Structure 1
């Protein structure tokens, strides 16, 4: 299946309070190889970025003023992602913004245009329970250089995430690849079945950690002037 690694940059944290997408970056993977057939665009959100968001991505209102509006790139984006598996880190955040933009244009939700959505943050938490699983942390863990990532950028982050995804999921294909033999020698090859078990360690947050988490969400609510995406996802 064709896979698309997708990332966005936005004016803030909450599409419900009017925050908009300002950049989309997509990287295509076919048969676990980067094809170079990428999609990237800046978008004029017709509003200023929140101060905190601007510090993250550095895309000023002046820089974005002559860029296309989302409505102008929507059909091209839909054609590009159509029927592909979409890979996103912390997918609920990006999907909330994409759905808000699609809703403004009267389009069905984003997931209805694609085959499926894979959240690499969920995958990483399953593979590395109890550890930091931000994109930067995963780059360090898998030896992927992100030294050039001084500011967040949708295409740069999608490129890094594509490398992280391929490294993180390499084991899923390793048995098939490593055990493949030429037909001529297959008859003389003894097949050994290996049984493996994986114990999943679940770490519960302490009361102090839960209190810190709630305090962080309260701060995000205040900055977003509404309910942040993460809290909205929990309550829904």
Structure 2
């Protein structure tokens, strides 16, 4: 199954009050494995950049002033996204900004049923723990030493690694056969009983032919002799 992990950077916290998306980074995964395909773009927000936002991602109004408008290049982004499920950390925030940009130019927003929120998954898996991307990177040993400031593509790449750990870790795809599907998975729905999407029947067959474990005649005779020698056995009472 193809999935796209993405992250955005913005001018603030609320698109309803005029904040805009200024950067987006996307990472393609198939069967929870990164394919190497990515998408990255900056956008001119046509407004100022608040100091608090610039302190987070380092993108100044001057830098962004030479970048294209979302309205002029959105087609490239939508082509990359395709119809894949979209994975983001605190996904409601990123979906809100992406859909606000699409709505602003008269395009159909992305359906919310395509949203997969890694914060929600982490909260269920690690109740009471810190759920920031930094905290999850530390928990799973994902190297973030090069993350000086937030960056959409860098954060999407980190999240892709965290997402794999949250949904099965490095053992994904090690089923005993290509037909094997864990009991809590529903292939018809494409989700587990926990509500997480999954990829089934994607791994090559790794199982060996089963060994025969029936006892030989000699082993049966030795067992009968052993049992007969037990004094006052419970099964004889």
TM-score interval for Structure 1 and Structure 2 normalised by the shorter chain: 0.7 to 0.9
Q: Specify the alignment match of 1:165 in structure 2.
A: 163
Structure 1 CA distance, aligned partners of 2:136 and 2:8? 18
Deviations 1:24-59 (A, max 9, x none): 000010122111110001111011122211110010
Number of residue pairs matched by the alignment: 186
Q: Specify the alignment match of 1:155 in structure 2.
A: 153
Q: Specify the alignment match of 2:14 in structure 1.
A: 14
Structure 1 CA distance, aligned partners of 2:20 and 2:125? 32
Distance apart, 1:111 and its partner CA:
2.0
Q: Specify the alignment match of 1:73 in structure 2.
A: 73
Distance apart, 1:179 and its partner CA:
3.0
Distance apart, 1:109 and its partner CA:
1.2
Q: TM-score, length-normalised on structure 2? A: 0.73
Structure 1 CA distance, aligned partners of 2:170 and 2:146? 29
> Whose Rg is larger?
2
- 205, 209, 212: which one pairs with 1:186? 209
Q: Specify the alignment match of 2:137 in structure 1.
A: 139
Please state if 1:46 is matched with 2:46: yes
Structure 2 CA distance, aligned partners of 1:4 and 1:21? 18
Structure 1 CA distance, aligned partners of 2:81 and 2:146? 27
Deviations 1:147-171 (A, max 9, x none): 1111000000000000111122125
Distance apart, 1:188 and its partner CA:
2.6
Q: Specify the alignment match of 1:213 in structure 2.
A: none
| 1:131 partner SS | coil
- Do 2:175 and 2:206's aligned partners in 1 also have CA atoms closer than 8 Å? no
Query: What are the within-5 Å matches in structure 2 for residues 94-133 of structure 1?
Result: 94-111=94-111, 116-133=114-131
Q: TM-score, length-normalised on structure 1? A: 0.74
Distance apart, 1:71 and its partner CA:
0.6
| 1:152 partner SS | coil
- If each structure's helix is expressed as a fraction of its own residues, which one has the higher value? 1
| 2:153 partner SS | helix
Q: Specify the alignment match of 1:227 in structure 2.
A: none
Q: Specify the alignment match of 1:177 in structure 2.
A: 174
Distance apart, 1:74 and its partner CA:
1.0
- Do 2:164 and 2:170's aligned partners in 1 also have CA atoms closer than 8 Å? no
Gapped runs of 5+ residues in structure 2? Answer: 178-204, 214-237
Supply the RMSD in Å over aligned alpha carbons.
2.0
Q: Specify the alignment match of 1:3 in structure 2.
A: 3
Deviations 1:95-140 (A, max 9, x none): 111111111111111227xx72110000000000000010000000
- Do 2:122 and 2:131's aligned partners in 1 also have CA atoms closer than 8 Å? yes
Gapped runs of 5+ residues in structure 1? Answer: 191-236
